[in-house]
Amino acid sequence: MNTADLGLPVDVPSTALFTDQYELTMLRAALEAGTAERRSVFEVFTRRLPNGRRYGVVAGTGRVLDAVENFRFDADVLAFLRERQIVDEQTLQWLAGYRFSGDIWGYPEGEVYFPGSPIMRVEGTFAECVLLETVILSILNHDSAIAAAASRMSAAAGDRPLIEMGARRTHELAAVAASRAAYVGGFATTSDLAAGFRYGIPTVGTSAHAFTLLHDSERDAFQAQVNTLGRGTTLLVDTYDVAEAVRTAVEVAGPGLGAVRIDSGDLLLVAHRVRQQLDALGATDTKIIVTSDLDEYAIASLAAAPVDAYGVGTQLVTGSGHPTSSMVYKLVARAESAGPNAPLVPVAKRSTGGKTSVGGRKWAARRLDACGVAEAEVVGTGPVPGELADRQLLVELVKGGEVVAREPLDAARERHTAAREGLPMSATQLSRGEPVLPTEYLHGASGS
């Protein structure tokens, strides 16, 4: 069974109200004006990456597909809208039969993106597309921010595995989404059982300081844990004195002790001392896991330390300083009339302050250099140049209202690894810099 089909053990009957009121008032006015059925193209993109970041990571696509399928105005939702007089009866009748029947294209989950990349393209009538703005953006902005932080952390960690353990630092449902996004970005496991239940992510966990404090001595606590979980467990050794705890841990579990966890202090110094002590006690295969407010910079600083795995919480689930990806959802083309064959015309916002957009229904491709390394993100309208035809990035996600591109979460995770490896080496530098690829625009006819 696909665990993604089980659903969260939380009552969320519909995603239709995961929206902003102005989307419904625009719908009402468009229905009244006769423009609601005009064929339209909306695109999700970001004008810039977070300051200093070299690339973005697309995450949340699978959750978007679930949200679109579950975007239904049931009786309770309609009653709420009627009671608040948010829309009129004509609009309520239209909403009662809402089913997205259009097409959605997008960068596949795990792919990288850059400023101006058409990360997702939603096509259908204005009425059915405009309602999806907030739910799509809320998912993509959050999940992509977490995945980008996770990607930087996994690049810094190299071959050492990362454990996601941030559930207690964010909203309970955001924690599940964050765990999923972290897995896409390169994390190996999660402590969040809801994420394991919902998405099949491997889960891990042993004990906290409270378990040690519960017992009359540290030895009693370690003995109880080993008796229950076996010698391969991980013992937390920084409740009192680290050196004494390590000695006791090996005495209790023997040299076959699985791992020790360090959650405080100068991790670089303590890790070296613990490794020396473990080796001297014959526990040469016992691993060292470090936690304690890690981010990508702290992980990179521990590259030379004898550390075997990292546990990351707060900095991961808050995007390591950038909790949103600043994506927007903009109308870029619309038909001249509601006629089924009316041609599309490009439209774009022309405001000051950097909030402009580029009109037209877009494609995207990644141009490679002679060594097969990405050198530019090419975004265009109209025909795709022949030399870029097999390098296009957007894939069909929804066709005629039906999801056509569901995939296992591991596929997105593997795709991200491959996409990051295809970028210039400077992409994974933690120093501040510009996007590692420039975005080039090719303008042609908008297409119909």
Residues 127 and 171 both lie in one domain: no
**Type of residue found at 186:** G
- Residue of 406, 344, 335, 403 lying closest to 100 (CA atoms): 403
CB 86 within 8 A of CB 31: no
pLDDT for 432 equals 86
pLDDT of residue 352: 67
pLDDT tops 80 at residue 4: no
Rounded to an integer, what distance in angstroms lies between the CA atom of residue 249 and that of residue 285?
A: 14
pLDDT of residue 356: 76
Tell me the helix, strand and coil percentages in the chain, rounded to 5: 40, 20, 40
Cβ within 8 Å of residue 269, ≥6 positions away:
none
Average pLDDT, the chain: 94
Q: Is the predicted pLDDT of residue 9 greater than 70, yes or no?
A: no
Backbone angles phi, psi at 440, to 5 degrees: -110, 140
| Residues 34 and 169 placed together within one structural domain of the fold | no
Query: What is the distance between the alpha carbons of residues 165 and 320, in angstroms, rounded to a whole number?
Result: 14
Q: How many domains does the chain divide into?
A: 2
**Confidence label for 14 from pLDDT (cuts 50, 70 and 90):** confident
- Report the CATH number that the domain containing residue 406 is assigned in CATH: 3.20.140.10
Are 180 and 312 members of one domain?
A: yes
pLDDT at 448: 46
Question: Can you tell me the distance from the alpha carbon of 255 to that of 10, in angstroms, rounded to the nearest whole number?
Answer: 44
Query: Which one-letter amino acid corresponds to residue 93?
Result: Q
The string of pLDDT tens digits covering residues 246-257 is 999 999 999 999
Please indicate, yes or no, whether residues 337 and 436 belong to a single structural domain of this protein.
yes
382/384 Cα distance (integer angstroms): 7
340 and 295 together in one domain = no
Q: Cβ distance 317 to 295 under 8 Å? A: no
Tell me if 374 sits within 8 A of 423, measured CB to CB.
yes
Q: Phi, psi (5° rounding) for residue 374?
A: -60, 135
State which residues form the domain around 361: 3-131+326-442
Statement to judge: residues 302 and 341 lie in one domain: no
Report whether 62 contacts 406 (CB < 8 A): yes
